[in-house]
Amino acid sequence: MGERMGQPVMERREFALFGEGGEIRRIPPEVSHFGLFGLPPKVSLDERALEAKYYALSRRLHPDFFMAAPVGERIRSLEASARLNEAYKTLKSPVRRAVYLVELASGRLAENDARPPAGLLEQILEAQEAAAELRCGCGGEEAGELRGRIGAARECFEALRSGQRKALEDLGAQWDRAVDEGRPVPPEALQKMRSILSQRNYIENILRSLREALEAAP
């Protein structure tokens, strides 16, 4: 689904989970999380509508309603519940939702923990080195210097994270306008979102590592 760059799936109709007789329909793999809830594929969405729809469908899929049902129907209810929970968990998180949309439009993101962003490699290595030295129990003036270096690195990466968040908001607004107007998402916006999201986990992990080094140091 949505493999063409800049052309995410524009689902406007909600997938009918229940047939006319109330039976559960099997959810095809090509139905997106947005289609399951009848929501447009946008970065921003109506969270109340998402929550309301989720609980309404969850109630209808409750196991108590299928205790006496044929085995096939019980299996479909469990499969539908699992798919519904996965979709809700993804869409209720702004970051997961953005990642999901980008992957719908242009394929899976690379494993973003394995390789540091090229432009930040030197800063990352210096920060990691200072954190490693501090963990070794360096004392006196040297420990104070290391704390200062780590603190400066944290400020740098926190500023970068804030900038990424603002950029994602701006790019998300471009995405949503394109969906509302029925046109493809601008390829440059999609590429920038991919780049930011692919770096996000690495930056978060560096910040966590620096914080833990400061907290664990004697």
Examine residue 113 and state whether it is found in any structural domain, yes or no.
no
- 169 and 89 within one domain: no
Examine residue 101 and state whether it is found in any structural domain, yes or no.
yes
Q: Which amino acid is at 142?
A: E
- 138 and 86 within one domain: no
The whole-number pLDDT of residue 103 equals 93
Q: Is 18 helix (H, G, I), strand (E, B) or coil?
A: strand
Q: Which H/E stretch holds residue 113?
A: none
Tokens of 76: 């479909």
Examine residue 167 and state whether it is found in any structural domain, yes or no.
yes
- CATH number of the domain encompassing residue 47: 1.10.287.110
Q: In this predicted model, what pLDDT tens digit does every residue of 94-150 receive, in sequence order?
A: 999 999 999 999 988 865 445 666 677 788 888 888 888 877 765 566 778 888 888
Q: How many CB atoms lie within 10 A of CB 67?
A: 8
Q: What are phi and psi of 44, to 5 degrees?
A: -100, 140
Contacts of 133 (CB under 8 A, 6+ apart): 146
What percent of the chain stands above pLDDT 70?
Answer: 87
What's the number of domains the chain is made of?
Answer: 2
Residue at token pair 């991919």 = 194
Examine residue 26 and state whether it is found in any structural domain, yes or no.
yes
Q: In this predicted model, what pLDDT tens digit does every residue of 163-209 receive, in sequence order?
A: 999 999 999 999 999 999 999 999 999 999 998 998 888 888 889 88
Domain boundary among 81, 108, 135: 108
- 103 and 189 within one domain: no
- Note down the domain range covering 179: 118-216
CA atoms of 124 and 130, how far apart (whole Å): 10
Of 189, 183, 198, 143, the C-alpha closest to 167 is 189
Examine residue 168 and state whether it is found in any structural domain, yes or no.
yes
